């Protein structure tokens, strides 16, 4: 019996062990698959796929956009690989591949698209766009106890106003807490970006953020009416939309051998994704960008949470201001139209009452002041159309060279603020934009002044109008001078926005300080180390001097009219006394 019990117990134990082993065999593949982490970033592959699909964006593009997110192979297949050595370009690889470029993780390498410039690449891409399809690269990782969901977009060309170059890398990211609850989204823009808390992000089906890509520059915005507040005058819209069902989404691994498949070896390429013809192309936004994890995109890859925390935060108040700015032309036109209707109504009313006294005032002692005021308005009108401030330069260096003295900065009422990026024949590019020329605002004041003149009833009111108009005529000049005095402090932020962390040479900084200390007129010359020489002159344009002349003329007109009013008062009093005596008689 003892042997029998022992045998039964042994068989039962073996059965239990075999059952346990069988159960482990059944569940182990599923468990191991759930924990696969082929890119070694600490996030299981299944979670990466789930999060990448859950937050896939809707991309909106403005009318006229020629380039859309595409596979990097399109650019690599059309390019040759160069090494920049001083200002010389050394051919490294005439037929680069995804695998071969991964060997060049540092140094000044760049992929030059042999198709040519904007027109040639746009034509070729337009012909192949349908067959290429659309590609979005997704990356999911952890950083500082946060889950990070990034979407990287590669464009074949960036025909932006301030950044005009082959290749373009842009990115949007969603930051989630440790419980995978979304906190905020950050969108890249011109070497920087802006951030919005998740509740302020437009979404489809509660999880898919809407991204509005600017025309040409591909800077990403949260609303279709943004892009007018900032350095570049971006145009955004939703004429064409790419949803998650419209593009191929490729889940990226991490950098380094063994952390991604060979088809993603381009992740380890550290050079530029576009032509870099001259050394100065970096500072003027004409060189191709570096890819994810390198250069201006290094912080986005290795410190996504820190990078997202440092950019400008936008909220509902900012969106309201952006909406007003975007629709400023319509709002301003509506206000001016309303004021014009009111003034025309007053003119019609005074005409019926016989109180339009312009001709009477012209025949009085105040007539000279009225004519002088009209001259002031005419001078003001001409000033609107001419340059307000001019910076000219003659640059003769190894990196940059101008053909004699050229306009570097030009401010006027037609085009606002324009800068010369010295990119071939591109000319002056608009820097600030409100959607309308600044001159329209000033021109409207001319129209209102003319209506005030036509509808004048009393010389005293006309005198007040001239005096106020004379003071306001100086406003454009005052604003320009104040801006120039602050130029030294603005030069570095502007360079960072255009060139992505470019170091300002001491000579440029010194020149900016010279301009700020003497904003009305001045010049500067110096040697830029061993690169060459430059000469820069600056000062108020003829338009500003005409503003000053218009202001003086209007003020003089107001004073003359006012003196004429006071001179007429004793005569008016005598007439009143004579009338009272006549009535008493």
| Three-state secondary structure readout of 400-417 | CECCCCEEEEEEECCCEE
Q: Which domain holds residue 295?
A: 45-314
Final residue before a domain boundary, out of 290, 314, 338: 314
Asked whether residue 10 is domain-assigned, the answer is no
Phi, psi of 397 (to 5 degrees): -130, 170
Q: Could you tell me if 169 and 305 lie in one domain?
A: yes
Lowest mean pLDDT segment, chosen from 28-32, 309-313, 411-415: 28-32
Model pLDDT, residue 3: 42
Q: Where are the alpha helices (DSSP H) in 279-420?
A: 298-302, 304-310, 316-326, 328-352, 358-362, 367-385
Asked whether residue 1 is domain-assigned, the answer is no
The residues, any chain, with a CB within 8 Å of residue 253's CB and separated by 6 or more, are 38, 39, 259, 260, 261, 264, 267
Model pLDDT, residue 18: 39
The residues, any chain, with a CB within 8 Å of residue 28's CB and separated by 6 or more, are none
Asked whether residue 442 is domain-assigned, the answer is yes
DSSP strand pairing (248-251 vs 240-242): unpaired
Q: Could you tell me if 250 and 359 lie in one domain?
A: no
Which residue is listed with tokens 């005032």?
Answer: 361
Q: In whole angstroms, give the CA distance from residue 140 to residue 252.
A: 8
Q: In whole angstroms, give the CA distance from residue 221 to residue 193.
A: 9
Residue 405 vs residues 338, 400, 420: alpha-carbon distances, Å: 46, 13, 12
DSSP strand pairing (182-189 vs 164-176): antiparallel
Mean pLDDT of the chain: 85
Q: Could you tell me if 259 and 385 lie in one domain?
A: no
pLDDT band at residue 432, thresholds of 50, 70 and 90?
Answer: low
Contact 307, 192 (CB under 8 A): no
Q: Could you tell me if 370 and 435 lie in one domain?
A: yes
Contact 421, 286 (CB under 8 A): yes
DSSP, residue by residue, 134-192? -EEEEEEEEETTEEEEEEEEEEEEEE-SS-EEEEEEEEEEEEE-TT--EEEEEEEETTE
Final residue before a domain boundary, out of 314, 340, 363: 314
Q: Helix, strand, or coil here: 207?
A: coil
Q: Could you tell me if 271 and 383 lie in one domain?
A: no
Q: In whole angstroms, give the CA distance from residue 434 to residue 416.
A: 9
Phi, psi of 149 (to 5 degrees): -115, 110
Asked whether residue 355 is domain-assigned, the answer is yes
Which residue is listed with tokens 């509660």?
Answer: 206
Q: Could you tell me if 304 and 372 lie in one domain?
A: no
Asked whether residue 496 is domain-assigned, the answer is yes
Q: In whole angstroms, give the CA distance from residue 370 to residue 323.
A: 41
Phi, psi of 270 (to 5 degrees): -105, 5
Phi, psi of 569 (to 5 degrees): -60, -45
Q: Helix, strand, or coil here: 194?
A: strand
pLDDT digits (tens, 9 = 90+) for 384-411: 999 999 999 888 776 667 778 888 888 8
Q: Could you tell me if 110 and 252 lie in one domain?
A: yes
Q: Could you tell me if 365 and 470 lie in one domain?
A: yes
Buried b / exposed e over 449-458, threshold 16 CB at 10 Å, is: bebbbebbbe
Q: In whole angstroms, give the CA distance from residue 269 to residue 386.
A: 49
Is the pLDDT assigned to residue 569 strictly greater than 60? Answer: no
Model pLDDT, residue 31: 33
Lowest mean pLDDT segment, chosen from 49-53, 214-218, 337-341, 497-501: 497-501
Q: Could you tell me if 459 and 554 lie in one domain?
A: yes
Q: In whole angstroms, give the CA distance from residue 338 to residue 543.
A: 29
Please give the helix or strand (H or E) that residue 213 lies within, else none. Answer: strand 208-213
pLDDT digits (tens, 9 = 90+) for 302-347: 999 999 988 999 999 999 999 988 888 889 889 999 999 999 999 9
Is the pLDDT assigned to residue 373 strictly greater than 90? Answer: yes
Q: In whole angstroms, give the CA distance from residue 427 to residue 409.
A: 11
Residue 46 vs residues 30, 187, 416, 542: alpha-carbon distances, Å: 11, 25, 52, 67
Burial class from Cβ neighbours inside 10 Å (0-12, 13-18, 19+) for residue 30 reads: exposed
Is the pLDDT assigned to residue 497 strictly greater than 70? Answer: no
Q: Could you tell me if 199 and 132 lie in one domain?
A: yes
Model pLDDT, residue 415: 80
The partner residues of 416 in beta bridges, in order of sequence, read: 412
Phi, psi of 262 (to 5 degrees): -60, -25
Lowest mean pLDDT segment, chosen from 174-178, 221-225, 227-231: 227-231
Residue 578 vs residues 452, 566, 585: alpha-carbon distances, Å: 33, 19, 11
Q: In whole angstroms, give the CA distance from residue 430 to residue 434.
A: 11
Q: Could you tell me if 59 and 191 lie in one domain?
A: yes
Percentage of the chain exceeding pLDDT 70? 82
Q: In whole angstroms, give the CA distance from residue 98 to residue 268.
A: 10
Average pLDDT over residues 120-137: 97
pLDDT band at residue 19, thresholds of 50, 70 and 90?
Answer: very low
Q: In whole angstroms, give the CA distance from residue 374 to residue 35.
A: 82
Q: In whole angstroms, give the CA distance from residue 327 to residue 225.
A: 8
Do you know the residue count of the chain?
585
Is the pLDDT assigned to residue 20 strictly greater than 80? Answer: no
Q: Output the six-digit token pair for 134.
A: 């659309």
Model pLDDT, residue 404: 80
Total Cβ atoms within 10 A of residue 40: 12
Lowest mean pLDDT segment, chosen from 95-99, 162-166, 221-225: 162-166
Into how many domains does the chain fold?
2
Asked whether residue 9 is domain-assigned, the answer is no
Cα end-to-end span (Å), the chain: 157
Q: In whole angstroms, give the CA distance from residue 537 to residue 531.
A: 20
Asked whether residue 330 is domain-assigned, the answer is no
Q: Could you tell me if 263 and 399 lie in one domain?
A: no
Final residue before a domain boundary, out of 314, 338, 361: 314
pLDDT band at residue 5, thresholds of 50, 70 and 90?
Answer: very low
Asked whether residue 324 is domain-assigned, the answer is no
Provide the CB-side half-sphere exposure for 344 (13 A, CA). Answer: 7
């Amino acid at each position: 019996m003892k042997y029998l019990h022992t045998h039964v117990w042994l068989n039962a134990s073996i059965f239990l062990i075999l059952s346990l082993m069988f159960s482990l065999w059944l569940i182990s593949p599923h468990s191991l698959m759930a924990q696969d982490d082929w890119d070694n970033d600490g996030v299981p592959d299944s979670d990466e796929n789930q999060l990448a699909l859950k937050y896939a964006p809707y991309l909106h593009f403005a009318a006229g956009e020629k380039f859309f997110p595409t596979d990097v192979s399109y650019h690599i297949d059309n390019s040759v690989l160069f090494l920049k050595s001083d200002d010389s370009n050394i051919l490294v690889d005439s037929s680069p591949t995804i695998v071969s470029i991964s060997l060049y993780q540092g140094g000044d390498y760049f992929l030059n698209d042999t198709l040519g410039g904007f027109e040639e690449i746009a034509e070729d891409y337009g012909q192949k766009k349908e067959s290429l399809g659309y590609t979005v690269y997704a990356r999911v990782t952890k950083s500082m106890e946060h889950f990070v969901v990034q979407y990287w977009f590669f464009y074949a060309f960036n025909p932006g106003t301030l950044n005009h170059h082959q290749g373009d890398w842009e990115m949007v990211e969603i930051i989630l807490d440790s419980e995978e609850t979304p906190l905020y989204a950050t969108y890249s823009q011109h070497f920087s970006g802006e951030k919005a808390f998740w509740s302020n992000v437009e979404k489809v089906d509660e999880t898919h953020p809407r991204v509005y890509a600017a025309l040409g520059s591909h800077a990403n915005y949260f609303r279709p009416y943004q892009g007018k507040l900032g350095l570049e005058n971006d145009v955004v819209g939703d004429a064409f939309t790419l949803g998650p069902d419209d593009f191929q989404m490729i889940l990226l691994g991490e950098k380094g051998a063994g952390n991604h498949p060979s088809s993603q070896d381009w992740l380890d390429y550290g050079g530029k994704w576009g032509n870099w013809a001259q050394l100065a192309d970096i500072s003027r936004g004409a060189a191709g960008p570096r890819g994810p994890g390198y250069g201006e995109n290094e912080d986005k890859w290795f410190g996504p949470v820190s990078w997202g925390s440092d950019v400008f935060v936008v909220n509902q108040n900012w969106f309201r201001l952006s909406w007003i700015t975007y629709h400023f032309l319509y709002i301003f036109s509506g206000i001016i139209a309303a004021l014009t209707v009111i003034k025309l109504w007053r003119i019609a009313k005074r005409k019926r009452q016989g109180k339009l006294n312009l001709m009477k005032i012209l025949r009085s002692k105040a007539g000279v002041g009225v004519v002088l005021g009209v001259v002031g308005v005419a001078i003001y009108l001409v000033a609107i159309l001419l340059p307000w401030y001019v910076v000219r330069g003659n640059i003769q260096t190894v990196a940059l060279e101008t053909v004699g003295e050229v306009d570097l900065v030009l401010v006027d009422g037609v085009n606002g603020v324009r800068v010369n990026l010295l990119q071939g024949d591109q000319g002056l590019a608009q820097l600030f934009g409100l959607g309308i020329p600044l001159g329209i605002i000033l021109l409207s004041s001319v129209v209102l002044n003319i209506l005030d003149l036509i509808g004048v009833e009393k010389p005293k009111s006309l005198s007040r109008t001239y005096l106020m108009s004379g003071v306001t005529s100086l406003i454009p000049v005052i604003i320009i001078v104040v801006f120039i005095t602050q130029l030294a402090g603005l030069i570095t932020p502007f360079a960072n926005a255009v060139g992505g962390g470019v170091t300002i040479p001491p000579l440029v900084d010194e020149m900016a300080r010279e301009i700020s200390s003497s904003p009305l007129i001045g010049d500067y010359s110096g040697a830029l180390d061993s690169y060459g020489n430059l000469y820069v002159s600056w000062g108020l344009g003829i338009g500003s001097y005409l503003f000053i002349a218009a202001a003086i003329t209007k003020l003089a007109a107001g004073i003359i009219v006012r003196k004429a009013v006071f001179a007429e008062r004793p005569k008016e009093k005598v007439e009143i006394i004579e009338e009272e005596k006549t009535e008493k008689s």
